[in-house]
Amino acid sequence: MADDSYTKDPAARLDYTWGWTDWLADIDDTISSATVTVPEGLTAVGQPVVTDTDVTQRIEGGTVDDAYRMVCQITTAGGLIDERSIYLTISNR
């Protein structure tokens, strides 16, 4: 699956969601746990919200003109592990 890219204002505090709906439906599995890793310069606010098929993390910060890669790794109820990325470019909006 393709990774997602977004533009974020440095003052914004927004939710970003990693989705595994189609893949999990194909293998008849659900998410049991998740870890979100953000690079220096961004702040993860609170814990990720995990549903059967998605992980959402609230993010703030960033420096104008910098780009960041946030990574979400899940473990499924069936014991599979997968990882996906979201890319943020910071720009005044």
8, two tokens: 């974020």
List strands edge to edge, sheet with 81-90: 4-8, 81-90, 67-76, 31-37
pLDDT of res. 27: 97
Asked whether residue 10 carries a pLDDT value surpassing 70, the answer given is: yes
Domain residue extents for the chain: 4-90
pLDDT of res. 88: 97
Q: Is the pTM of this model over 0.85?
A: yes
Each residue's pLDDT tens digit, 35-82: 999 999 999 999 999 999 999 999 999 999 999 999 999 999 999 999
Contact between 2 and 85 (Cβ < 8 Å):
no
Select the CATH number that applies to the domain covering 4-90 from these four: 2.60.40.10, 3.10.129.10, 3.60.21.10, 3.40.50.720: 2.60.40.10
